[in-house]
Amino acid sequence: MITGYPESSPASSRPAGSMRIAMVAARFPPQLGGTEVHVSEVAQRIAGRGVDVTVLTTDVSGRLPPVEQRGELAVRRFPAIPRSSDLYVSPGLAREVTQGGYDLVHVQGVHTLVPPMALAAAQRAGIPTVVTFHTGGHSSRLRTALRGAQWWALRPLLRRSHALIAVCAHEVELFARRLGVDPETIQLIRNGAEPLPFDDREPEVSGSPLICSVGRLERYKGHHRLIAAMPALLTMTPGAHLAVVGRGAYERELRRLAVRLGVEHAVTFTAFDSADRTGLGTLIRSSDVVALLSEYEAHPVALMEALALGRKVVVAATSGLTELAQAGIVTTVPLDAHPAALAAVLARVAQGPEASACEFRTWDDCANDVLRVYDHAFEARS
């Protein structure tokens, strides 16, 4: 049964410790990404309120601890195959869903093979399920083309879930159409956002202006579009510099592009471990513009954190990113903008007035809303 609730964030009145929650995610810190941050922030807050929460996740490397305690939050990692792909097939995780004595299973994300395995296992065992979509892009054109078929295959499992959660209005509209349900039955719970910590250290990258492109180094994230704009931007503002912030398999191609365009001196590649949030915050705070020219995003955590620091932001006019433009807090450019046109926008935004730090829903607000969904599921089961 799918139910819907208005978006709000009152504190939950559920008695502490009355539920055992399995929060299932294909990836979890120290792996980096917006979904990983969301799961970590929400799960730790819910566990800190006395709820028995265990994150069930995978480890394709075999190097992470299989059992970890993060404050009140328990984390269990299970082997997954294949190691060279992001499909994350994990029979051990699926067995734990049914054998762990959980009252509710919350699946975070719909893009790997973990969601159908976990949902099918829980629903066969009669355990209520909740799903947060966390849609995102993919660099593989084949995987992107198969997304519609993938969501169609998930349709019965999603429709049998007690609650469906979207992180942006774009997801609400997308899955209401795909599942054939009333949009009002899908709960909208946006990601939280809090300013990144920073200190007085000198950032390792500087420029005038300094542009930061933040995200995993995959083609669909659009870093190459910003590198392509650098020749024109350097003509307009010779002191400009681009910091590409992230890790990923596309780094070699991005470096080659910078060399081919003769702008390698004005492009720096850097990354921060999940523990060095202060280093990342210090760099972002020193930037003139933070950019994300991704082909697809739902409600990107990295941008929310930059906006919370008062940074000026430029995004591609696509998917959930357009909602930020409608709110008047970012500048958009067409995804296929000519490099010279993109450079002109970056220069104009960088030279424009300073942005004010935006107030957003916090991670506490997000956790409160998720708890309300759990409350309803628990009451319905009782």
- If you write DSSP's letter for every residue of 357-378 in order, what string do you get? PPP---HHHHHHHHHHHHHHHH
Please report the pLDDT score of residue 367 as a whole number. 96
Structural domains in the chain, sorted by start: 20-191+362-381 (3.40.50.2000), 210-351 (3.40.50.2000)
> 216, 220, 172, 174: which is closest to 335 by C-alpha?
220
Q: Which of 17-21, 120-124, 155-159, 238-242 has the lowest average pLDDT?
A: 17-21
Q: Return the half-sphere exposure (C-beta side, CA atoms, 13 A cut-off) of residue 76.
A: 16
Neighbours of 273 (CB within 10 A): 12
Please report the pLDDT score of residue 277 as a whole number. 87
By the 10 Å C-beta count (0-12 exposed, 13-18 middle, 19+ buried), 364 is classed as middle
Following DSSP, what letter does each residue of 150-192 receive, concatenated? HHHHHHHHHHTSSEEEESSHHHHHHHHHHHT--GGGEEE-PPP
- 202-226 pLDDT, tens per residue? 888 999 999 999 988 999 899 999 9
- Tell me if the bond preceding 82 is cis, omega within 30° of 0: yes
By the 10 Å C-beta count (0-12 exposed, 13-18 middle, 19+ buried), 89 is classed as middle
Q: Taking the alpha carbons of 291, 297, 302, 303 in that order, is the dihedral positive or negative?
A: positive
Give the residue, 238 or 18, on which the prediction is more confident.
238
**Which residues of the chain form beta strands (DSSP E)?**
20-25, 52-59, 67-70, 73-79, 104-108, 129-132, 163-166, 186-188, 210-214, 241-245, 267-270, 289-292, 312-316, 331-333
Q: Is the pLDDT of residue 369 over 90?
A: yes
Q: Is the pLDDT of residue 5 over 80?
A: no
- 277-302 pLDDT, tens per residue? 899 999 999 999 999 999 888 778 88
Q: What is the mean pLDDT of residues 157-163?
A: 94
146: pLDDT confidence band, cut at 50, 70 and 90?
very low
Please report the pLDDT score of residue 153 as a whole number. 77
Query: CB of 291 within 8 A of CB of 275?
Result: no
- 85-131 pLDDT, tens per residue? 667 889 999 999 999 999 999 999 998 889 999 999 999 999 999 99
Please report the pLDDT score of residue 66 as a whole number. 97
CB contact set of 382 (below 8 Å; sequence gap of 6+): none
382: pLDDT confidence band, cut at 50, 70 and 90?
low
Give the residue, 82 or 102, on which the prediction is more confident.
102
Query: CB of 262 within 8 A of CB of 256?
Result: no
C-alpha distances in Å from residue 329, one per residue of 170, 263, 310, 321, 352? 17, 30, 10, 11, 14
pTM above 0.85, yes or no: no
136: pLDDT confidence band, cut at 50, 70 and 90?
low
Which residue type sits at 313?
Answer: V
Q: Is the pLDDT of residue 139 over 50?
A: no
194: pLDDT confidence band, cut at 50, 70 and 90?
confident
Partners of residue 172 on adjacent β-strands? none
Q: Is the pLDDT of residue 183 over 50?
A: yes
Please, what is the average pLDDT of the chain? 88
Please report the pLDDT score of residue 15 as a whole number. 47
